[in-house]
């Protein structure tokens, strides 16, 4: 096990700037498991009682593994999953007669599937609960938990551009199954994120930009290109998406502009005005990202920003949110 604490500081200021609008922030923890190869995407699980016991759950498509890390980088669990893609979670979800925290990752090989786990809050470990949920060709995706109906969905993106939405339901023997409920059409896409409160779904079409759709399956299948490539410096090869939630309806939509190794922040509320771009030291050609506003203990008391880096050994970099958020707030105030 390799654990690397880059600094013990809880609040990290931008270490340098790459132009006036691109401050660079320094990560404080790097996540690397002994058998990791190319960790690609991650999600952040918040412990319900002991925030410092929260975890980062990571997928590694080259190692065919899912890893569970503690906040300090300790590897807690390793699971075998054939070529896992994007990974996402929702907490306090009710399926059938049970309420629990659910983690879903799309499997890209040996049959396209959704691999589904529940989090055991006592052990922080993942327990598999799917019934071999088969999908169409998938590349990435995200979860959507409807506050309108209480139903839970996983949206599968693909390199062919077909996007499929699946409803997740409980059935006998404490298993979860998936049923396709909607199909969307885009170009090659991987990254996706849903804003449950707003009922919105955002998808990164790699060559065109970020699309916004209504997330309910009975809504129209046409989307709006809210962040086109070529505008506000967005270069293309658009990848990871994440939503930072502050007050109800407020916060940021974060986008990984992989071609420039930059992260772009847009307002969470419509019409999603561009706020600022920033960088993370050591993060290049970033794919997956995630963010949390929760107090995650002494290392990340005001939340964290997590990102993949293409630099060997393809670690995940964890950066305290406080300095990033302060920079974005100042830029909003100045506008």
CATH number at residue 286: 2.120.10.30
Distance, CA of 39 to CA of 34 (rounded, Å): 12
Number of domains in the chain: 1
Q: Give me the sign of the Cα torsion angle 151, 227, 88, 105.
A: positive
The verdict on residue 105 lying in a domain is yes
The verdict on residue 215 lying in a domain is yes
What are the pLDDT digits (tens) for 68-96? 999 999 999 999 999 999 999 999 999 99
Closest CA to 61 of 149, 1, 175, 140: 140
Confidence class for position 174, pLDDT limits 50, 70, 90: confident
- pLDDT score of 313: 83
The verdict on residue 10 lying in a domain is no
The verdict on residue 304 lying in a domain is yes
The verdict on residue 3 lying in a domain is no
Task: Retrieve residue 140's tokens.
Answer: 């990435």
The verdict on residue 106 lying in a domain is yes
pLDDT at 333 over 60: yes
The dihedrals phi and psi of 79, each to the nearest 5 degrees, come to -125, 145
- Residue 107's CB is within 10 A of a number of other CB atoms, namely 23
Confidence class for position 335, pLDDT limits 50, 70, 90: low
Distance, CA of 301 to CA of 66 (rounded, Å): 26
The verdict on residue 296 lying in a domain is yes
Residues of the chain above pLDDT 70, percent: 93
Distance, CA of 31 to CA of 313 (rounded, Å): 10
**Coil, strand, or helix at residue 271?**
coil
pLDDT at 188 over 90: yes
Rounded average pLDDT over 7-31: 63
pTM given for the model: 0.93
Cβ 176 vs Cβ 116: under 8 Å = yes
pLDDT at 104 over 80: yes
Rounded average pLDDT over 201-225: 96
- Residue 161's CB is within 10 A of a number of other CB atoms, namely 15
- pLDDT score of 5: 38
pLDDT at 3 over 80: no
Cβ 241 vs Cβ 192: under 8 Å = yes
Rounded average pLDDT over 291-300: 97
Instruction: Determine the structural domain holding residue 157 and report its residue range.
Output: 15-334
Distance, CA of 6 to CA of 30 (rounded, Å): 8
- Residue 335's CB is within 10 A of a number of other CB atoms, namely 8
The verdict on residue 172 lying in a domain is yes
């Amino acid at each position: 096990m390799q654990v690397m604490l880059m600094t013990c500081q809880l609040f990290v200021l931008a270490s340098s700037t790459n132009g006036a609008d691109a401050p660079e922030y320094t990560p404080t923890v790097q996540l690397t498991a002994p058998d990791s190869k190319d960790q690609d995407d991650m999600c952040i699980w918040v412990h319900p009682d002991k925030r410092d016991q929260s975890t980062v759950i990571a997928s590694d498509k080259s190692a065919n593994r899912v890893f569970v890390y503690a906040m300090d980088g300790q590897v807690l669990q390793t699971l075998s999953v054939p070529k896992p893609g994007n990974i996402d979670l929702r907490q306090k979800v009710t399926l059938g007669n049970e309420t629990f925290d659910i983690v879903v990752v799309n499997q890209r090989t040996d049959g396209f599937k959704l691999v589904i786990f529940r989090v055991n809050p006592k052990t922080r470990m993942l327990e598999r609960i799917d019934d071999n949920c088969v999908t169409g060709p998938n590349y990435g995706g995200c979860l959507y938990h409807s506050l309108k109906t209480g139903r839970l969905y996983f949206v599968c993106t693909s390199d062919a551009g077909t996007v499929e939405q699946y409803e997740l339901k409980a059935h006998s023997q404490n298993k979860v199954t998936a049923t396709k409920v909607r199909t969307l059409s885009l170009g090659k896409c991987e990254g996706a994120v849903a804003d449950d409160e707003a009922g919105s779904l955002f998808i990164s079409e790699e060559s065109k930009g970020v699309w916004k759709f209504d997330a309910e399956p009975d809504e129209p299948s046409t989307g709006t290109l809210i962040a086109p490539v070529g505008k506000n410096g967005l270069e293309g090869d658009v990848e990871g998406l994440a939503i930072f939630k502050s007050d109800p309806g407020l916060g940021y939509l974060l986008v990984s502009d992989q071609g420039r190794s930059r992260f772009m922040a847009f307002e969470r509320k419509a019409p999603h005005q561009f706020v600022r771009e920033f960088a993370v030291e050591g993060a290049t050609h970033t794919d997956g990202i995630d963010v949390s506003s929760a107090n995650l203990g002494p290392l990340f008391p005001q939340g964290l920003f997590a990102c993949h880096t293409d630099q060997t050994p393809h670690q995940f970099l964890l950066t305290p949110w406080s300095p990033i958020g302060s920079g974005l707030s100042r830029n909003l105030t100045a506008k």
